[in-house]
Structure 1
């Protein structure tokens, strides 16, 4: 019996796609019906999703900068920011940085440059706003984290599915993926493996 397809799966299957295998990664560029671009990168061996980023159109039809949903921030964005001067460079090395790095079965965020012990953090689920709220008892840090995957599926968050840890000045937050999200991953991976892979240079996921 085949699994029921979600709107997310249907949208990606209907998109125009190009694929490339390079440096141990399967890179896929999607162009959606409204002109929005999506790029994803998967580890060829583990099939883990390493990168997901979007480039949307402005009201005038121009392409906006890439927005990273999963993975490390774009190097080009960092380089552009560093042109602001050495002061910004110093701040960027010490300020907390939140990066989403998922595992196959969990959404995961790593917030670096947070030296406080684990007991300092108060992490809750805001059911109304559908996000995870991170705050410290010493009032040194506050952040709201949304999960676009859950929003696309219109799923509610449950604090029972969340785990936290702290090591090497990094706060690690994990939220277990619901079964329907895992099912989507299986369906999409099977679809992507059918794609004909192109040569280096065929992809349109250049950072700009």
Structure 2
């Protein structure tokens, strides 16, 4: 199995069940933490977030890798200049057979877009022929496993001002996810009320 699988297996882990979600908190012992949330119906990751310790006393905010960005309810920011909510933004989904990205607030017709792979950086390059939009979308899932990107696995559609990009999962990724979920099933969940702060990004 891969080095990444070994790192996950050796990490300090805790687990809680919250409704239909199983939440796993990984502590890698090097200042890095990861939280994954699994849908117990599909066994797919619905959310993945990372946190890094800046120094011995402080921690950074959670960075969302899979799932929608965290809403910001900070009252102090009401009087500050904020990013236009109509600007394009990316969210990620994982299904049984594919990796998926949704780029919202893109009004251009589907024939304007191109999505090409960049093997060296494990990225998808999203462009519009009218030069109104450009985005490099990283695929850390494949980079961690050293799985090369293939253009034939990429497809996309456009509807409701949203570009939906799909990357068909390689067999190696599917096998990795199955093996990891078998490991996760062995982790005994703790009481939700006691452990919620560990397993819920905020």
Query: Is 2:32 the counterpart of 1:36?
Result: yes
Q: For 2:99 and 2:107, how far apart are their aligned partners in 1?
A: 22
Once residues 122 and 40 of structure 1 are traced to their aligned partners in structure 2, the CA distance between those partners, rounded to angstroms, is: 31
State which of 82, 90, 94 in structure 2 corresponds to 1:88: 82
What's the TM-score, normalizing by structure 1? 0.89
Deviations 1:57-77 (A, max 9, x none): 2255631111111011122xx
Shift of 1:21: 0.8
Secondary structure in 2 matching 1:13: helix
Aligned equivalents of 2:125, 2:54: Cα separation in 1: 30
Q: Offset of 1:206 from its aligned partner?
A: 4.2
Contact 2:49/2:201 (<8 A) preserved: no
Does residue 24 (structure 1) correspond to residue 16 (structure 2)? The answer is no
- The answer to whether the 8 A contact 1:109-1:173 is kept is yes
- CA RMSD, aligned part only? 1.9
| TM-score (normalizing by structure 2) | 0.91
Following superposition, the deviation at residue 96 of structure 1 comes to 0.6
Contact 1:21-1:27 within 8 A present in 2 as well? yes
Give ranges in structure 2 of 5+ residues lacking alignment: none
Runs of 4+ in 1 over 2 A off after TM superposition: 59-62, 78-82, 84-89, 127-130, 205-208
The verdict on how the C-alpha distance between 1:80 and 1:120 changes in structure 2, with shifts beyond 3 A counting, is farther
